[in-house]
Chain A
């Protein structure tokens, strides 16, 4: 039971950190791509839209090669640490947050900016109004990113190594039970995983609505 709790808490912490990291650069990036519609921003958005469906194992493998001892960032000794999983998941969900947020903001942008300018707003006041108006969309995109991070397996397995008590998270624990043939245990973990995700989603949405 104790191990299950620690796995659940570790999953939330690791993926929470990943979401926080990804939000740091994804939110400003999405705003810039929404506000400045240039040819370059459209190409970048196309790239982010495409990268949304990148297989987690492909990203995991690339990062494994970069972080492994002989890789360019091997000296950081991050491989098989919870931080490595967080970084990997942050990179994984970056295109998702950018794409969801930018596409959502684009839908309200014209109305919000036109209304703000028509009422006498300066450019910065109008963009602030856009950000304020897009707050529920921002929370939703972060939530989608978090759910993607906590539910992925490839990055957590390849960069974390599924070390008991250290880098084992819910998805890698479920995968391990499946490999061992303990389907009942895997299903129980899966049920716990789904309950945790649903509760977190409801909680974050409620906070966002406030």
Chain B
């Protein structure tokens, strides 16, 4: 399928991506183009989902292959350009890590390192905390949070910068069904501005997926969303 120039620039293009940690390849020649709103990648534990997301997030350098974001190959550009690209792609870990200090400080962090003014930082932090229902947690110490609260704070910290791409590793883990719905609705809402790629096992996540891939033995193939019934893994 030919993409228009504008759509192609917005698309994430992964070309023949290979990655190995020591001797064995975890990713074996992955190629895909993603230009929709929400992509879900499923696959058994150890299939390479996290590795793929980390490569796309600029955290792991692929052994070979290309990751083209905003029309540029993430690993061929210079450091300065890569930083600009990395700032458009936020990766949220399966077990998110929060910095020492308050929840407010954590959500504010990505804005602070981008040099955004204090007033604007405060406005955005309050707005995102409100939308995720965690405003009451803002002054709490990060170490005092439950696993579910930690996940919501990590998500808030990622979307507060309004990135072009969001890479989420198991975003529904440790959340109760009410919070799951809240997160799914929010992801759906922000997907008009932010392209989202999710690695997950959870059945509920498919309800928002526009495209689904399965990653097995380091290889990727497309699944029809409509054909998925129940928990496929």
Contacts and interface: CB of A to CB of B under 8 A. Distances in A.
Interface of A: 111-112, 114-122, 125, 129, 132-133, 135-136
A129 B100 CA distance: 10
Contact of B59 (A111, A118, A129, A132): A118
B37 interface: no
**7 smallest A-B Cβ distances: which pairs?**
A120-B87, A111-B97, A119-B110, A118-B91, A115-B97, A125-B113, A121-B113
Nearest to B157: A119
Given A129-B99, A133-B100, A115 B93 contact: yes
23 contacts: A111-B97, A112-B99, A115-B93, A115-B96, A115-B99, A116-B113, A117-B58, A118-B57, A118-B90, A118-B91, A118-B93, A119-B90, A119-B109, A119-B113, A119-B157, A120-B83, A120-B86, A120-B87, A120-B90, A120-B110, A121-B113, A122-B83, A129-B109
B59 A120 contact: no
Contacts of B157: 119
Given A120-B86, A120-B114, A133 B93 contact: no
Contacts of A129: 99, 109
B129 interface: no
- Main secondary structure on B side of the interface with A: loop
A112 B58 contact: no
A179 B131 CA distance: 72
B161 interface: yes
Contacts of A116: 113
A116 B100 CA distance: 13
A8 B50 CA distance: 56
A149 B98 CA distance: 35
Contacts of B86: 117, 120
Interface string B160-181: 0100000000000000000000
B158 to A, nearest CB: 7
A41 B86 CA distance: 29
Contacts of A112: 97, 99
B100 A114 contact: no
A114 B92 CA distance: 10
Contacts of A114: 59, 93, 97
Nearest to A125: B113
Contacts of B92: 118
A120 B93 contact: no
Contacts of B96: 115
B89 to A, nearest CB: 9
B2 to A, nearest CB: 32
Contacts of A118: 57, 59, 90-93
Given A120-B83, A125-B113, A132 B100 contact: yes
A82 to B, nearest CB: 37
A122 B83 CA distance: 7
Nearest to A121: B113
A136 B141 CA distance: 15
Nearest to B154: A115
Nearest to B83: A122
Given A114-B59, A115-B93, A122 B99 contact: no
B57 A133 contact: no
Contact of A120 (B97, B100, B161): B161
A115 B154 CA distance: 10
Contacts of A119: 90, 109-110, 113, 157-158, 161
Interface string B37-54: 000000000000000000
Contacts of A133: 99-100
A112 B157 CA distance: 14
B59 A117 contact: yes
A126 to B, nearest CB: 9
A133 B142 CA distance: 12
Contacts of B100: 132-133, 135-136
Nearest to A113: B59
Contacts of A111: 97
